[in-house]
Amino acid sequence: MPKTRLDKVVTVRERTEDAALTHLARARATLQEAHAHLAGAMARSRTDGRARAQAEFWQLEEAAHARALETVRAAQQHLARAANTESEARSGYVSAHREAQVVRRVAERKRTELRSSAEKAEQKQSDELATQRFNYSGK
């Protein structure tokens, strides 16, 4: 395979693409963790620990329930940020992948041109040798 000056550009674009893919994977993992955290917080906020007891215990339970609801709101906000980060990472990866594909195609076209010109040069040299043989065989 003939080397071109574009090979370095292809390598750089592929590294950028790999970095974007890694960032996307991390963002997706964070998003999954945020989903799990929100599900857990919602489950904890739905529990009702009130029972027949003194009013002070009910007040403590109400305060715990308020904290649980605040945790749910914080988990929802974290989930929204994680979803936004995942969306940005996905668009960054798509862009990096597209750029890498463009450079790969251009490099492949250049290699095809180089092969074609090498074949033409070889054919020309072969034709010249055949012509010289023909001219010398006639004398």
Looking at 2.60.40, 1.10.287, 1.20.120, 3.40.50, the CATH number of the domain 6-137 comes to 1.10.287
Average pLDDT over residues 67-87: 95
CB distance 124 to 56 below 8 Å: no
Q: What pLDDT does residue 63 have?
A: 86
Average pLDDT over residues 34-43: 94
pLDDT digits (tens, 9 = 90+) for 9-36: 999 999 999 999 999 999 999 999 999 9
pLDDT digits (tens, 9 = 90+) for 101-137: 999 999 999 999 999 998 998 998 888 888 888 888 7
Higher-confidence residue of 47 and 81: namely: 81
Query: Taking the mean position of all CA atoms in its chain, how far away is CA 134?
Result: 61
Higher-confidence residue of 99 and 135: namely: 99
Average pLDDT over residues 51-71: 82
| Whole-number Å distance between alpha carbons of 33 and 54 | 38
Q: What pLDDT does residue 129 have?
A: 86
